[in-house]
Amino acid sequence: MNRRRIGIMGGTLDPVHDGHLHMARYALDALQLDVVLMLPSGNPPHKPDIIPAVHRWRMLSLACTGVPGLEMCREEIDRQGVIFTVDTLASLREKYPRAEFFYLIGADTLMELKKWREYGRVLRLTKFAVCPRSTRYTLEELDAERDRLTLLGGDIRYLDMPAIDVSSTAVREAIASGKPAPHLSPLVQEYAEIYGLYGAVPRIPEAAAWLDRVHDDLTVKRFAHALGVAATARRLALLHGLDADRAEAAGLLHDCVKCWPLERMQRVARENALTDDEAILASGAMLHSVVGEYVARTVYGVTDPAILSAIRWHTTGTPGMTRLDMAVWLADAIEPTREDYPGLAELRSLAEVSLEKAIEKSLDSTLRYVRQKGLSVHPATADTLAWLRTLPACQP
């Protein structure tokens, strides 16, 4: 069996940004790694200003969702007290006895390696891959240190990475000001804003408590989708002069029961007489919006009819749906984690121009596709399309 080649990306990742992800992906390719372990540190006792580990972990999992080759690693995050890299590496060595490790570091860390506890042993436990760009040290200084560590038995190689300059401070400042942060996943930004991290001012007071519950009820992928829909619905609402907080709230909760087993949705729907439509009762893809609206009301405590309506109609649509319903419906179809499908780019552009036209186009292609395949579609979808075509916005 070949030895696995494993990259390790450590640090506080506070928050993880494109600079980290870029380096991890670059190393995967350049060093032909099987995987990069994303290894956030725990709560360091000497650094009380670092965001709690639970949030750094969740933001990291949002940023890594759907990125092949990156694997989340809890090795340090669950440990208490001061954590030394040498202990982490010894523990990883036990878990992966035949692996070849490549610890990914920046140039400044290379210069500080000599201060790490038992660094001679660290050099025997892992190789290092260094991004050799530094504003503090010259290449000569880096080379000299690399040569010195090599003489001690270290294996230190440079990664010839294209430059991507990301300042964690600039990222945090952008989050605090509510402006889109450059080089940051929009899902991470949405998450940070909802929890009021890095000085952000939460817009929806209940949203952090909602998100704790949504997080526990959904898969990581679906959780990322919910944040993507919330951020996109907010953006569309602002573009089209709608209530952005309501759109965002509906986006956060629209799929709150999506990961429930169908039987559980059916039981709740029947016990509470939510629908007697057998086609909807038989399909989790439609039923989750009916039950989701009920759960948003009774469990999450949402009373705003506009939010509840957007959750209720986000699957089939309905004749007479509001423009806020449309913004959430479209956000569901175009949010950033959506895998590419024919017409997605066009739909994204059209949604910025006209909600009505965008939703009409999307429903039209869905119906064409379904009919071509000889499948059936719920009458509500066809009714919604026919109604949309009567609107002035959809006239040629």
Residues that bind Fe ion (CB under 5 A): 255, 332
Helix (H, G, I), strand (E, B) or coil at 119: helix
**CB of 357: closest distance to Fe ion in angstroms?**
21
**CB of 62: closest distance to Fe ion in angstroms?**
16
Other CB atoms within 10 A of residue 178 CB: 13
**CB of 159: closest distance to Fe ion in angstroms?**
38
Q: Residue 14 or residue 255: which is nearer to Fe ion going by CB?
A: 255
Q: Which two tokens stand for residue 124?
A: 């025997």
**CB of 368: closest distance to Fe ion in angstroms?**
21
CA atoms of 71 and 59, how far apart (whole Å): 14
| DSSP H or E run through 370 | helix 355-372
Q: Residue 255 or residue 356: which is nearer to Fe ion going by CB?
A: 255
**CB of 58: closest distance to Fe ion in angstroms?**
19
Helix (H, G, I), strand (E, B) or coil at 70: strand
CA atoms of 362 and 330, how far apart (whole Å): 9
Q: Residue 40 or residue 292: which is nearer to Fe ion going by CB?
A: 292
CA atoms of 326 and 237, how far apart (whole Å): 10
CA atoms of 63 and 70, how far apart (whole Å): 10
Q: Residue 83 or residue 330: which is nearer to Fe ion going by CB?
A: 330
Q: Which two tokens stand for residue 301?
A: 């405590």
Q: Which two tokens stand for residue 195?
A: 């929890």
**CB of 246: closest distance to Fe ion in angstroms?**
17
Q: Residue 64 or residue 290: which is nearer to Fe ion going by CB?
A: 290
Note whether 103 and 68 are within 8 A (CB). no
Other CB atoms within 10 A of residue 333 CB: 20
Q: Residue 198 or residue 223: which is nearer to Fe ion going by CB?
A: 223
